[in-house]
Amino acid sequence: MPKWFQPTTLLCAALFAISPFVIANAPYESTMGLVQKVFYYHMPSAWVFLTASVVCGIASARFLATGDARHDRTALAAAEMAVLFGLLTLVTGPLWARKAWGTWWIWDARITSSLVGWMIAWAYLILRQYGGPGSEKLSAGLALFGMANVPFIYVSVNYWRTIHPATTVVPKLPFEMGFPLLFCLAAFYLLMFLLMKLRTHVAEQQARLDAIYLSLDEQA
């Protein structure tokens, strides 16, 4: 592991430790009250989920084009991030929705698209796990299709039902509300970056181990 890994991990842990205080000091949102604070974890999770999905799609495309195993490792790590942060998004969302709109689940454009996207990421992992040998290429194909599908999913779900608040919530926030959001975004993105680095490192070590086994076999 590179030298900067440990100090950066400590930094990330610090950011998360401080975040509740930063959030607590943000002003109360008049209509939704205390529970709106979940938003500061919910939105960064959603952004990281989306970013991870895009990274997975691009890495998969590069893997299919070049056959370089590094891209495959990146795609796998990104898919795991997508499932993790997608789950976080899909759990924090209903928590907020319950208090804000009175129901646990609403079939609106964004949350439904996220659910479908999350299932595609999950399908990627299932395919890797149970597809047998050669499943790296197959899952890359799936990821590519998943990424191409994003606009279609969004449009179809959007025109199907929608009551999600508009994205313009972010720019219109006064600074006291905007700063905690940026703080949490930084913390979440740093976490995603660190986890991906860790995961690809493990995968790399596994690949090296396989190579060693193979070369041993040769000497025999």
Nearer to another protein, 1 or 216 (CB): 216
Single residue of 8, 9, 156, 200 touching another protein by CB under 8 A? 156
- Cα torsion 139, 83, 144, 201 to 10°: value is -70
Residue 82 interacts with another protein (CB under 8 A): yes or no:
no
Site for another protein in 160-179 (CB under 8 A): 160
Single residue of 78, 142, 181, 187 touching another protein by CB under 8 A? 142
Residue 68 CB, nearest approach to another protein (Å): 13
Residue 21 interacts with another protein (CB under 8 A): yes or no:
no
**How far is Cα 40 from Cα 17, in angstroms, rounded to an integer?**
14
Spell out the long-range contacts of 88-94 with Cβ–Cβ below 8 A and sequence spacing 24 or more: 88/41, 88/45, 88/49, 89/42, 89/45, 89/46, 89/49, 89/114, 89/118, 90/114, 90/115, 90/118, 92/38, 92/41, 92/42, 92/45, 93/42, 93/46
How many other CB atoms sit within 10 Å of the CB of residue 166? Answer: 7
Tokens of 114: 């996220």
Single residue of 87, 116, 190, 194 touching another protein by CB under 8 A? 116
Binding range to another protein, per CB under 8 A, among 48-56, 96-104, 132-140, 177-185:
132-140
Q: Given the rule CB under 8 A, which residues bind another protein?
A: 64-65, 116, 119-120, 123, 126-127, 130-135, 137-138, 140-142, 144-146, 148-149, 152-153, 155-157, 159-160, 210, 213-214, 217-218
